[in-house]
């Protein structure tokens, strides 16, 4: 099965992408999971989180469509984090208009392909054919779909989703009560550490919480989005940045630190 992780707000992009895949590969519809697209959704009545977790882990191929929408989607963060945590192949595909310098770790450790590059799209379908063990059709069968993908409008503006804007309007105390227990534990740790040091290296979180939860990074990213913490690049060796995290001034003020 091919799993395509995406934001529902990128429906035009993902619909065009699926058309390209169907034109280039001999793959039945039921072997593609794209939860926002008719014909490729989850079956009616199945438990959503359990089904997604299972399919993310078991998929033979996995595309993460990276856009400014998807980077702010909790579902996409869950899917990418689960796939990364399973240590399985993940192909980051940059949406039209997305700038590679806006890509965040750990995805920066992976080679990316782009919807704006014809050679990348050719490479994508070849690699999918190999991973899914299906026939790749002659290029003249799907060249039009590549052209349609290249013609998609570029979205270059960072967009803050409505659900996040509403969440940010809530006071910090209520906001903290609403986050999952694992993130709350990380936030409590940062609060305690702030009393003795200004910021905390990424490695310290991996050491303290890595044995308890998978994808510590994604939990830290969520806390950043919610305004509790901020991050700064502290090292950029081999083009793999590492970060230090600290409480935001606004949150520190709200708890009297």
What proportion of the chain, given as a percentage, has pLDDT over 90? 56
pLDDT score of 170? 87
**Helix, strand or coil for residue 89?**
coil
pLDDT score of 74? 79
* Domain regions of the chain by residue span: 2-150, 162-254
Q: Which two tokens stand for residue 21?
A: 């895949």
Q: Is the pLDDT of residue 235 over 80?
A: no
Q: What is the pLDDT of residues 52-107, one digit of tens each?
A: 989 999 999 999 999 988 887 878 988 998 898 888 999 999 999 998 888 877 88
Range among 107-111, 122-126, 171-175, 241-245 rated most confident: 122-126
CATH classification code of 162-254 = 1.10.10.10
Q: Is residue 251 within 8 Å of residue 229, measured between CB atoms? A: yes
Look at 101-110, 154-163, 247-256 and tell me which has the smallest mean pLDDT. 154-163
> How far, CA to CA in Å, does 246 sit from each of 77, 108, 132, 133?
21, 22, 43, 46
Choose the CATH number for 2-150 among 3.40.50.720, 3.40.50.1820, 3.40.50.10140, 3.40.50.300.
3.40.50.10140
How many helices (H) and strands (E) the chain has is answered by: 11, 8
pTM above 0.95, yes or no: no
Angle CA 83–190–69, to nearest 5 = 40
Alpha helix locations (H) across the chain? 11-24, 48-58, 74-85, 118-132, 143-150, 162-168, 172-178, 181-194, 202-209, 216-225, 249-254
pLDDT score of 69? 86
Closest of 146, 66, 63 to residue 98, by C-alpha? 66
Angle CA 57–60–62, to nearest 5 = 75
């Amino acid at each position: 099965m091919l799993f395509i992780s995406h934001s529902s707000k990128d429906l035009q992009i993902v619909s065009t992408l699926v058309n390209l895949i169907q034109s280039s590969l001999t793959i039945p519809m039921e072997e593609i999971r794209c939860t926002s697209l008719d014909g490729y959704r989850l079956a009616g009545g199945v438990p959503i989180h359990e089904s997604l977790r299972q399919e993310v882990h078991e998929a033979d191929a996995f595309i993460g469509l990276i856009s400014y929408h998807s980077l702010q989607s909790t579902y996409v963060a869950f899917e990418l984090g689960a796939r990364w945590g399973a240590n399985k192949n993940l192909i980051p595909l940059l949406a039209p208009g997305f700038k590679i310098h806006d890509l965040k770790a750990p995805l920066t450790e992976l080679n990316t392909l782009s919807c704006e590059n014809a050679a990348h799209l050719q490479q994508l379908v070849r690699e999918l054919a190999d991973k899914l063990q299906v026939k790749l059709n002659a290029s003249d069968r799907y060249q039009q779909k590549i052209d349609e993908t290249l013609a998609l409008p570029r979205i270059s503006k960072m967009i803050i989703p409505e659900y996040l804007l509403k969440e940010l309007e809530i006071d910090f105390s209520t906001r903290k009560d609403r986050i999952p227990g694992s993130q709350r534990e990380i936030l409590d740790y940062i609060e305690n550490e702030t009393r003795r040091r200004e910021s905390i290296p990424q490695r310290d979180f991996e050491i303290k919480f890595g044995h308890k939860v998978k994808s510590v990074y994604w939990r830290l990213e969520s806390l950043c989005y919610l305004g509790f913490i901020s991050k700064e690049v502290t090292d950029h060796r081999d083009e793999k940045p590492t970060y230090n995290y600290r409480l935001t001034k606004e949150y520190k003020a709200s708890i009297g630190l």
